[in-house]
Amino acid sequence: MGPYERIKGHEYEDDDDEKIGAAGRILLVDQKKKIIRGRSDDDVHKDKDKDIEMGLYAKAKANNPNASASAASCSSSFTSKSHHHHQKQLHRLISLDVFRGLTVALMIFVDDAGGVLPAVNHSPWNGLTLADFVMPFFLFIVGVSLSLTYKKLSCRADATRKATLRTLKLLLLGLFLQGGFLHGLNDLTYGVDIEHMRWTGILQRIAVAYFVAALCEIWLKAGDENIDSRLSMLRKYGFQWAVALLLTTIYLSLLYGLYVPSWEYQIPVGTSVSPPKIFSVKCGVRGNTGPACNAVGMIDRKIFGIQHLYRRPVYSRTKQCSINSPDYGPLPADAPSWCQAPFDPEGLLSYNFLLRGCSSVMAIVTCLVGLHYGHIIVHLKDHRDRILHWMIPSSSLVVLGLALDLLGMHLNKPLYTLSYMCFTAGAAGILFVGIYIMVDVCGYRRMTVLMEWMGMHALMIYILAACNVLPVVLQGFYWRQPQNNILRLIGIGK
């Protein structure tokens, strides 16, 4: 299972136990016993209807003689609802799949349209565009799904082992797809020099965030207490919020507290025998969030080595580095020395790096926000209660993100700043509420069938389409010359 993929068998509202109650559970157990003896469902249902109705009638009469008629009426309605629940398939939250499918569709759209419409491509540095919502939306829905996956745990150690295996699968898949093994369109070769392999990527970031959030959900929640208020929910999941606060504090301390010295990098020129060109970048600052002298880039260069970082950074589309900004283009005559330096938007500190280990600070926090939204699904069954408990934090996060941006902590996806995390997580929550109302409350599913299908097969679609695996495979079939392939025929890869 991967974060892009639906969590099979767990995205259901398994609320039968809470709605049926004690009498209903007696009915269901007795039904199973009598079916084993060969009796029909109808006979069992009729008998148990009478038994439970008489029991409730007698209890109501003892407590209040005037309430006997109403008790009989309520018991009859109660047993019919209990039987209906037993016969009905568990209600699946379609909004989870629709949200995930919409995010996949958005990712494919911005990948394909970004070259034609630079305005929808990732922001060159500060600011937000449509493409900058994709990653936090995925992380958000991963958290929501995790809360449903681990709401009932039989063995924490076994759940931890499965979460670890899933994380490793995602990491290896990310290395294969985004490490440089596949060379993309118009290139039938493959393979990667490990010395220059890219270690980070989209799937790797999601894998790390998924793993830490899964551990929090497995180990850091209180026992089975009834959730009847916001305070009781805070008590149950307080340690998870403490982890989110700790990670955010560490991230801000590193981003604004680390000293970034001057540094240099090399770029090969011409043939391999020519000496590389050396560029020096002057820094010597603390708390800088510009492209050249931020702590995120410094940590990545120290830990990974500059040769393992992404060689086409987003800041090469800024006005300082491209005459075609916000698109890629030739360097201006007065371009600064850092314009061609590698920089990885999925680097360690943007994962939330804790010096001695790799965790995902702001990416994990986004996942933990989604986890909280999933807890609301688990513990609250009324639509109005859910929507209220979703909209309050969503609106608050959006306002907080905008306020931080105005105060100087800019919305910045490459650095995954706190303001960016707050604003995008809040936007994800608002979008999820809208989809929930439309699909799960009002039942308008026909117009979202395609998105639902994409959400149920998100990982497969991501691999085939977003990672260009399908186009790379198709271009391998050609007529006489590699240029005469199916993709060229339909206008792709020219």
| DSSP category for residue 186 | T
Identity of residue 308: H
The three-class DSSP label of residue 266 is: strand
The three-class DSSP label of residue 237 is: coil
The three-class DSSP label of residue 183 is: coil
pLDDT by residue, tens only, the chain of 494 residues: 444 444 444 455 554 444 334 444 444 444 444 444 444 444 444 444 444 344 433 444 444 444 344 334 333 433 343 334 333 334 678 999 999 999 999 998 988 786 677 778 888 899 999 999 999 999 999 999 999 999 888 899 999 999 999 999 998 888 887 766 776 677 777 777 666 666 667 888 899 999 999 999 999 988 766 777 778 888 899 999 999 999 999 889 988 999 999 988 888 776 666 777 888 999 999 999 999 898 888 887 877 666 656 667 888 888 999 998 888 889 898 899 888 887 755 544 444 333 333 345 789 999 999 999 999 999 999 999 999 999 999 999 999 999 999 999 999 998 899 999 999 999 999 999 999 999 999 999 888 999 999 999 998 898 887 777 777 777 777 777 777 777 777 666 55
Q: Is the peptide bond before 326 cis (omega within 30 degrees of 0)?
A: yes
Residues with Cβ within 8 Å of 272's Cβ and at least 6 positions away in sequence, in order, are none
Contact 75, 56 (CB under 8 A): yes
